Amino acid sequence: MAVSAFFVIVMCNILIAALRKLPSDEVRIPIFIVIIASFVTIVDLVMKAYLPSVYSFLGVWIPLIVVNCIVLGRAEAFAYRNTVWLSAGGGRGAGGVYAGSVVGRAGLRGWVGGGRVQFLGATLISVPAFYSRPNVLLLFPGAFSLFWLIIAGSQAMNRRIAGRHAAQVASVKEAM
């Protein structure tokens, strides 16, 4: 899934940057959606033809890349306003961060919920036998709960950093 989204983001950024001066503002977003849907269809068909085992597992999720706001937002905010080379680099960066995020969350979920992290059937990391796995993390509610915990932890860390920064600014102002 991460590789598919990476490919779609990079290719859409390149094509939208190359065509950025052609469409008017009235039809820009529908054109972006058609471009995104075209690359997702390419990914879907290639995966179906050359990776049938992966496609049988991910097939239902691949079309959801079309409605992924990351792809459309990236096209609107960056690729439409920049050159092909900058957009290709920006697409690689955004796609890489997205892919890393997906792989990281999947690995954490598999490790905590399933007791092991696997890649292509090989176990990379496993927990000790005495660890009682919360299997609910392997289900959709568990995945959303884990995602919520990651977001909550990130926000708490950001507030803490912002509080420290505000305290430093206040101490500098008092010293003046």
In this structure, the answer to whether residues 11 and 91 fall within a common structural domain is yes
pLDDT band, very low/low/confident/very high, at 102 (cuts 50, 70, 90):
confident
DSSP SS3 for 125: strand
pLDDT band, very low/low/confident/very high, at 55 (cuts 50, 70, 90):
confident
Task: Name residue 59's amino acid.
Answer: G
Q: Global pTM? A: 0.49
**Residue 67: is its pLDDT beyond 70?**
no
Instruction: Look up the domain containing 49 and give its range.
Output: 2-138
In this structure, the answer to whether residues 10 and 89 fall within a common structural domain is yes
Closest CA to 37 of 76, 63, 16: 63
**Number of compact structural domains in the chain:** 2
